[in-house]
Amino acid sequence: SQLAEENSWALSVHEGESVTVNCSYKTSITALQWYRQKSGKGPAQLILIRSNEREKRNGRLRATLDTSSQSSSLSITATRCEDTAVYFCATEPNSGGSNYKLTFGKGTLLTVTP
Amino acid sequence: DPKIIQKPKYLVAVTGSEKILICEQYLGHNAMYWYRQSAKKPLEFMFSYSYQKLMDNQTASSRFQPQSSKKNHLDLQITALKPDDSATYFCASSQPGLGGQDTQYFGPGTRLLVL
C-alpha cells in the first residue's frame, strides 16, 4: 500500500480560480514535500514542510501539514494555464539518521483551462 | 544549462539485452538517486548513494546495478531486460544536510522501452 497518497486523481479549474490538492500519509515523517511534474519533465519541488511546521508558503502556493491526522494540503491561488501538471506529495520517513528516500504518492493531475 | 544530464533521452531495447543509463549532475551535490516511473506504478524509489556509497536499495532484483565512477556520476546498469522494465527512469540529486529534509532535484529522465 502507498505510504503517501493524494486524495484526488484529477482536478480541473479555470484560470484565476483557486484549487487545493490533498494528501494523506501513513508513517511518521520528518518532512513532507510537494512536487510538480509537467508533461515530459522530471518532478520539481514546490514546497518542503517540516514535521514541526503547520504551514509554509511559496508565492501563490500554500502547504499545510497536520501530523495528528497525517494529512497535508497544497493550495494554489490565482491559477494559471502553466500550473497544469501532476502534483505529488512525497514523504521522508522518520527512520533516524539521514533521510535519503522519498516516497511519492500517485499524483493528482491538475488541469487549468483558460 | 541543464544541471542534471541523463542520457539517452529515449532507449529501445530487446528482451534479454543489457543497457546502461547515464546520469551526471553539476549541482555539487553529494547524494544521488534513481527513481522509476511507469504507467502501472507511481514514482518509485530505487537507490540512493551518498559520497559514492550505497545508502538504500529498494530494488528487489539484482538485475539493476548502480555504478558510481565519480562523485557526480551515478549510472544505472540493467541486465536481462524484461518488458516490465519499460518505464521512465529518473536520476535525482541532493545535498544532505543535518537531519535530512533534503530537496531532491530531478533530471529529465530516460524513457526505456523493452520489446
Which chain A residues in 74-93 lie under 8 Å from chain B, judged by CB atoms? Answer: 88, 90, 92
pLDDT of residue B75: 96
Query: Given an 8 Å threshold on Cβ–Cβ distance, is B50 in contact with A100?
Result: yes
Under 8 Å between Cβ of B64 and B78? yes
The answer to whether B34 contacts chain A (CB < 8 Å) is no
Alpha helix (H) residue ranges in chain A: none
B8 pLDDT tier (thresholds 50, 70, 90) = very high
Q: Burial level of B67, CB count in 10 A (0-12/13-18/19+)?
A: middle
Q: How many CB atoms sit inside 10 A of residue A49's CB?
A: 22
pLDDT of residue A101: 80
The answer to whether B45 contacts chain A (CB < 8 Å) is yes
pLDDT of residue B101: 58
pLDDT tens for each residue of B62-98? 999 999 988 899 999 999 999 999 999 999 999 876 5
pLDDT tens for each residue of A55-104? 999 999 999 999 999 999 999 999 999 999 999 999 877 665 555 788 89
Asked if residue A54 has pLDDT above 60, the reply is yes
3-state DSSP call for residue A111? strand
The answer to whether B15 contacts chain A (CB < 8 Å) is no
pLDDT of residue B109: 97
C-alpha cell at A114: 483558460
CA distances from B87 to A37, A67, B35, B44, B80 (A): 16, 33, 10, 11, 15
- To the nearest whole Å, the CA of A81 is away from the closest chain B CA by 21
pLDDT of residue B95: 85
* HSE-CB for A62 with a 13 A CA cutoff: 11
Query: Given an 8 Å threshold on Cβ–Cβ distance, is B101 in contact with A102?
Result: no
Q: How confident is the prediction for chain B on average, in pLDDT?
A: 91
Beta strands in B3-115 (DSSP E): 4-7, 10-13, 19-25, 31-37, 44-50, 53-57, 64-67, 75-78, 87-94, 105-106, 110-114
pLDDT tens for each residue of A37-50? 999 999 999 999 98
pLDDT of residue A96: 56
Q: Closest partner residue to B100 among A45, A98, A105, by Cβ?
A: A98
The answer to whether B105 contacts chain A (CB < 8 Å) is yes
